[in-house]
Amino acid sequence: MLEAQPEPGGAVRSAGYLGPGFVADVCSAFYPLAAASPAIASLALEDHGLRWAHAPAVLAHPLPDGGCALLSRDVTETCSALERLGRGDGAAWERLWQLWGRLGPALVDALFTPFPPLRAGTRMLARAGPAGVPAFARFAALPVRRLMEEEFSGPGGLLLAGCTMHTDLAPESAGGALYAWILAMLGQQYGWPVPEGGAGRLAQAMVGRLRSLGGEVRCSTPAEEVLVRHGRATGVRAVSGETFRARRAVIADVAAPLLYGGLVGWEHLPARLRDDIRRFQWDYATVKVDWALSGRVPWSAPTAGRAGTVHLSAGIDEMTMYCAQLATGQVPAEPFVLMGQMTTADASRSPLGTESLWGYTHVPRSVRGDAGGRGLSGAWDGAELELMADRVEQQVERFAPGFRSLVSRRHVLGPHQLQEHNANAVGGAVSGGTAAAHQQLFLRPVPGLGRPRTPVAALYLASASAHPGGGVHGACGANAARAALRAQGPVRRWLRRAAAAPA
Ligand SMILES: Cc1cc2nc3c(=O)[nH]c(=O)nc-3n(C[C@H](O)[C@H](O)[C@H](O)COP(=O)(O)OP(=O)(O)OC[C@H]3O[C@@H](n4cnc5c(N)ncnc54)[C@H](O)[C@@H]3O)c2cc1C
């Protein structure tokens, strides 16, 4: 495995930049998708040191009036918390949970296997039944704002709306409710766990497994070109000039626009792909902030202090404004903030009584103005990043007055730094491309290439630009690896297994 950076992990790494005793997750932090993914489960990473940790509660959405929507792994507790915010809302959650009980497991299987998911899809259809299929199709197409209106009388549905904000979909986007429901119900079923000791421990466990099987990771070795001969990938040339021959296949964990026309020259690719890649849509840019706090966050709604993840936005209209500002190239005035109370989730992240706090928000990929009135231009130099971090802190202060007085250290990463840290995070994108319907399933990353195969034989796309997209679930890589193994044919596969079997 060739890794461009000095250490492996990509968007799954930890660092010590918050000072002694504090662990910060540089990019991703919470792993509901990994917890549910058959691809990750099949790796038995616990045998390589991975331990999951859970906060007392999964997710909180504090409200401006001091109330709080809470997701707990105990469904009765979630329902009670929501019922307190709106009559009938506990029952609404229970209905969504029952729907998950019927269709969730098959849906997860369908999501995490190559497209089209024939077996899991058939199971899902059978579970839904003839009347259930059109009803679920409608549910799957709902915008999250509409789901809230239909199911909830109080603000408890914000738990779901905040989950939609993990994608680049707006509260009014079709399909947004489905993402929200999946993330929330995974939280209900598995929690949103974190690796004990930091996100990097997940990557370390994967590297440990690879090494135990004889694999090698070459760090600080950026790949520059996939070598192609007679339409087939034969190896990789690193920036250093060193070449690596691939006997079986090249698996590319790079964003689609970096592979097509980048690592693989256009001369090896169909002309149509060039046009498709021109239309490839990235997801939003990102500004990430980490804080070392001398105490726990002083939430007005104390319940929020129990949750690993906290969503910050005063309501669904504020989320719509945030998304509208992103869509129109304005740096949002009141950013939606996705926060992680990392020490609350895993006590090893900072000294007793303190908090290692993680958060990010999105900014437009191309800035045309600043809705916050501070003249942010999108240069995202040091001064602009500090101003944006101040804006994020203002948002935290609305829900936790006095928060700022606890900050002993702050570390900010903008779109440029995220991309320097990981070439796949082009312009600060987190998901390898938009989650919108026009770039999903068989349309991901471009129409017709829903599978990890590429137009070059023995070259497979394994990054989040492939189906099923962003998030840490291992499915893109697993799909690519399986496709490569299948391409060897049964005889070679059998010989390989026989050679690997213990004597
Ligand atoms: C700020 C942030 C927060 C996030 N939060 C979460 C979260 O909490 N939970 C979650 O599930 N997901 C989260 N995500 C999304 C998730 O991390 C990504 O979708 C996922 O890591 C993508 O996996 P990947 O394998 O496609 O690539 P990456 O994780 O991006 O890894 C790609 C690797 O390839 C290397 N590479 C790239 N180009 C080359 C080259 N030419 N030569 C050699 N090596 C190369 C990179 O250095 C990197 O190590 C977050 C992402 C970001 C950026």
Instruction: Reply yes or no on whether the pLDDT at 21 is more than 70.
Output: yes
At residue 114 the predicted structure's pLDDT band, cuts being 50, 70 and 90, is confident
Would 200 be classed as within a structural domain?
no
Whether 10 is covered by a domain: the verdict is: no
Q: Does the pLDDT value for residue 397 go beyond 70?
A: yes
Cα angle 67-73-78, degrees, rounded to a multiple of 5: 35
What's the domain count of the chain? 1
Measured by CA distance, the residue closest to atom 51 of ligand 1 is: 430
Q: Distance from the CA of 167 to the center of ligand 1, in angstroms?
A: 15
**CB of 10 closer than 6 angstroms to any ligand 1 atom:** yes
Cβ(187) – ligand 1 distance below 6 Å: no
The pLDDT value given to residue 116: 87
Take atom 16 of ligand 1 and give the residue whose Cα is closest.
471
pLDDT at 502 over 60: no
Section 309-316 average pLDDT: 98
CB 224 within 8 A of CB 259: no
Classify strands 68-71 and 57-62 as parallel, antiparallel or unpaired.
Answer: antiparallel
Strands 223-229 and 232-238: antiparallel
**481 Cβ partners below 8 Å, 6+ apart?**
251, 460, 462
pLDDT reported for residue 497: 63
Q: Is the CB of 223 under 6 A from ligand 1?
A: yes
Name the pLDDT band for 492 (thresholds 50, 70, 90).
low
pLDDT of residue 353: 97
Boundaries of domain holding 447? 219-280+425-500
Residue with CA closest to ligand 1 atom 7: 28
Whether the full predicted model's pTM is greater than 0.75, yes or no, is yes
3-state SS class at 66: coil
Quote the pLDDT of residue 501: 59
Strand residues in 45-106 grouped as ranges (E):
52-53, 57-62, 68-71
CA of 90 to the centre of ligand 1 (A): 36
Q: Are the CB atoms for 32 and 186 separated by under 8 Å? A: yes
Map residue 192 onto helix, strand or coil: coil
Mean pLDDT of the chain: 96
Predicted confidence (pLDDT) per residue in 41-78, tens digit: 999 999 999 999 999 999 999 999 999 999 999 999 99
Q: Closest by alpha carbon to 68, among 86, 94, 41, 43? A: 86
pLDDT of residue 498 exceeding 70: no
Residue 201 Cα to ligand 1 middle (Å): 15
Q: How confident is the model at residue 495 (pLDDT cuts 50, 70, 90)?
A: low
Atom of ligand 1 nearest to the CA of 222: 42
Indicate if the pLDDT at residue 389 is higher than 80: yes
| Tens digits of residue pLDDT in 57-66 | 999 999 999 9
Give SS3 for 271: helix
How many residues are listed for the chain in this entry?
503
Distance CA(204)–CA(202), nearest Å, equals: 5
Task: Measure 425 CA to ligand 1 centroid, in angstroms.
Answer: 7
Ligand 1 lined by 399 (C-beta under 6 Å) = no
In the predicted structure, residue 221 carries a pLDDT above the cut 60: yes
In a domain, 393, yes or no: no
CB of 464 shorter than 6 A to ligand 1: yes
What value does the mean pLDDT take over residues 303-331? 98
Ligand 1 within 6 A of CB of 82: no
User: Average pLDDT in the 31-35 region?
Assistant: 97
pLDDT digits (tens, 9 = 90+) for 411-457: 999 999 999 999 999 999 999 999 999 999 999 999 987 889 999 99
| Ligand 1 atom having least distance to the Cα of 424 | 30
Give pLDDT, residue 115. 84
- pLDDT band, residue 488 (cuts 50/70/90): confident
User: Is 159 part of a structural domain of the chain?
Assistant: no
Give the pLDDT score at 65: 94
Cα gap 7→219, rounded to integer Å: 6
Whether 313 is covered by a domain: the verdict is no
pLDDT band at 231 (very low <50, low <70, confident <90, very high): very high
Q: CB atoms < 10 A from the CB of 441, how many? A: 14
CB atoms within 10 A of CB 241: 7
Q: Which of 63-67, 164-168, 308-312, 489-493 has the lowest mean pLDDT?
A: 489-493
Whether 39 has a pLDDT exceeding 70, the answer reads: yes
Q: What is the end-to-end Cα distance of the chain in Å, rounded?
A: 27
CA atoms within 13 A on the CB side of 3: 16
Residue 455 lies in a domain: yes
CA distance 72 to 57: 5
Pick from 424, 460, 467 the residue to mutate for probing ligand 1's pocket: most ligand atoms within 8 Å of its CB: 424
Pairing of strands 232-238, 243-245: antiparallel
Atom of ligand 1 lying closest to residue 472 CA:
11
Residue 243 lies in a domain: yes
Residue 224 belongs to some domain of the structure: yes
Mean pLDDT over 138-148 rounds to 98
Residue 225, classified by CB atoms within 10 Å of its CB into exposed (0-12), middle (13-18) or buried (19+), is: middle
**What is the amino acid identity at position 270?**
P
**Residue 175 in this model has a pLDDT that exceeds 80:** yes
